[in-house]
Amino acid sequence: MARTEETLNPFLIAQKQVRWAVTELGLPDAVYEILKQPLRVLEVSIPVVMDDGTVRVFTGFRSQHNDALGPTKGGLRFFTEVSVDEVKALSMWMTFKCAVLGLPYGGGKGAIICNPKELSKRELEELSRGYIRNVSQIVGPEKDIPAPDVYTNPQIMAWMVDEFSRMRERNAFGLMTGKPLILGGSAGRNEATGRGCVTCAVEACKRLGIKLDGARVVVEGYGNAGSVAARLIHDMGAKVIAVNDSKGGIYRAEGLDPRAVLEHKEKTGSVVGFPGSEPVSNEELLQLECEILIPAALENQITAEVAQGVKAAIISEAANGPTTPEADEILAEKGVFVIPDILASAGGVTVSYFEWVQNIMNYYWTEEEVNEKLRVMMARAFDAVYQMHRTKNVTMRRAAFMVAVNRVAEAMKVRGWLD
């Protein structure tokens, strides 16, 4: 049991990744000592008067890992199964995700333990406003900028921005990213994570000599990132042969129409039962023969057992932490080219950065401008990691951590945090 907990604990996984990068780069031990844990973690209790008149108290967290490169930045999730260790790990990964992309941010992450599907709109609004009141002293456009994550959305961000603005007695649209367009949101933000993931997959195909036209693609998780990635890569000529969601998966060797699948899911609540497809389990889906596999669900989906049967040439991780360390080793031995989450899923935070910049300037770009800026930054970041991968003869995940940790360490050094 202890072995399993240690293996799958995301915080311990993140610490090991940092430890390895620090050692491989020959950096001082002080770098690891600073980066192995967040600068601060806040736990809050949020009382909400429910529709039936009872009072229910929800627990929330905000972790701020490192701000050497700039204010912390990261999503806020509403989820039943979330722990403080998970939030701490996600804030660490955000630090390195931002550093890989060259963004002037450190990493942050937040969560509220709840099931938003069981809450009315009024209850959800009260919970959202209560959370921002309780963390208001440590967040803000120049301190920590939250964003949507699992089961949060632009409306929730709008409520929080409004509450914070009331407290500050001035509009503070730069507090949050992922907002509605009318409140300073950025064009292109909704598709950013999926678009960034696909950009990385395309860059990998170029380097590996894989023809994108006709390439078989499997998408695990058909939420926002997964459905966007499926549509974009399909439009480039690839063939999406299987997708799934929390209720099950579908497979069609001849290829699926991503738009039609999304319409089916919106009507029925799941991709399951899509006409002309056959059912496929999650493990079977992850082990289908294909050129590109896009995990876009939750953490620890590709375990060592699953990795043994993976047949994809490229894995582009749209989700955070979908591959366990043991699985990583197996995939490396098999020659699978894994584009790590801190690079492949960084499209969202990159366009969040664009949104924050636009809020500060009070000047807004078109969707075409945003998409092109995103493509350039993702391709540039991919190239930096790929060059480290080739130069040091390490996996892309390790190369990404080396690039990121080196940049954060350099910032800490020039700021005087290190001898």
Question: Which residues are known catalytic residues?
Answer: 109
Q: Is 211 helix (H, G, I), strand (E, B) or coil?
A: coil
Classify burial at 417, counting beta carbons within 10 Å of its beta carbon; exposed 0-12, middle 13-18, buried 19 or more.
middle
CA-based torsion, 145, 147, 149, 151: positive or negative: positive
CA 247, CA 149: separation in Å to the nearest integer?
20
The residue among 65, 74, 163, 166 whose CA lies nearest residue 111 is 74
CA 43, CA 48: separation in Å to the nearest integer?
16
Q: Is 302 helix (H, G, I), strand (E, B) or coil?
A: strand
Assess contact for 114 and 148: CB atoms under 8 A. Answer: no
CA 345, CA 364: separation in Å to the nearest integer?
24
**Helix axes of 192-208 and 224-235: crossing angle, nearest 10 degrees:** 50
Tokens in use for 152? 């949060």
* DSSP H/E element including 108: strand 106-113
Sorted by sequence, the CB contacts under 8 Å of residue 415 that are 6+ apart come out as 68
Sorted by sequence, the CB contacts under 8 Å of residue 145 that are 6+ apart come out as 71, 72, 73, 105, 108, 139, 174, 175, 176, 177, 352, 356
How far out from the chain centre does Cα 262 lie?
21
